[in-house]
């Protein structure tokens, strides 16, 4: 398996992973699946803004992807980023997320970012534990800020100070 920068040819497989997550998990607080056009616009914007997108790839298959992007759009937040890590449903729990998270941390360091924020559904113990293994600490707990699958969702913010 290789962790590498994503290319446009990866977008369809990345879209499949993302849409499965929208449909079946609370990792993304979205209801509607994305289109390939939406994914292309997202990818172009990431490139334009200088934010990396990584894929875990093996034998031509995208197993997962990760990225960082702005935490908030105001200027004083320019050294803070938010991370995202997504792994194909049949491969979760096999260490792919850890490799993808490390790639985003390394990229943030290279970009001279100061901190990474992870917004995680409070019931997602696996993602929270993975982030904590990398030194993220819980800094905020928001009650009932999302509503999906006919229930209210809590949101935790974890933070890693990297510089």
Token pair listed for 34: 């994305």
Instruction: Supply the pLDDT for residue 142.
Output: 98
Q: Which of 147, 132, 149 is nearest to 157 (CA)?
A: 132
Contact 88, 120 (CB under 8 A): no
- Chunked mean pLDDT (size 10), the chain, 163 residues: 97 98 97 97 97 97 97 96 97 96 98 98 97 98 98 98 89
**What is the model's pTM?**
0.95
User: How far apart (Å, rounded) are the C-alpha atoms in residues 65 and 10?
Assistant: 10
Name the residue range of residue 6's domain: 2-161
């Amino acid at each position: 398996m290789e962790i590498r920068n994503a290319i446009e040819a990866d977008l369809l497989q990345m879209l499949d992973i993302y849409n499965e997550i929208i449909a079946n998990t609370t990792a993304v607080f979205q209801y509607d699946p994305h289109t390939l056009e939406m994914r292309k616009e997202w990818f172009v914007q990431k490139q334009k803004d200088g934010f990396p997108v990584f894929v875990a790839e093996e034998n031509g298959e995208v197993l997962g992807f990760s990225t960082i992007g702005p935490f908030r759009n105001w200027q004083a937040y320019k050294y803070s980023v938010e991370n995202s890590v997504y792994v194909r449903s049949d491969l979760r729990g096999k260490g792919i997320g850890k490799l993808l998270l490390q790639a985003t941390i390394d990229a943030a360091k290279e970009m001279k970012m100061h901190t990474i924020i992870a917004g995680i559904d409070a019931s997602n113990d696996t993602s929270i534990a993975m982030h904590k293994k990398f030194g993220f600490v819980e800094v905020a707990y928001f009650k009932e800020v999302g509503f999906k699958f006919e229930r209210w969702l809590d949101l935790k913010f974890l933070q890693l100070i990297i510089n």
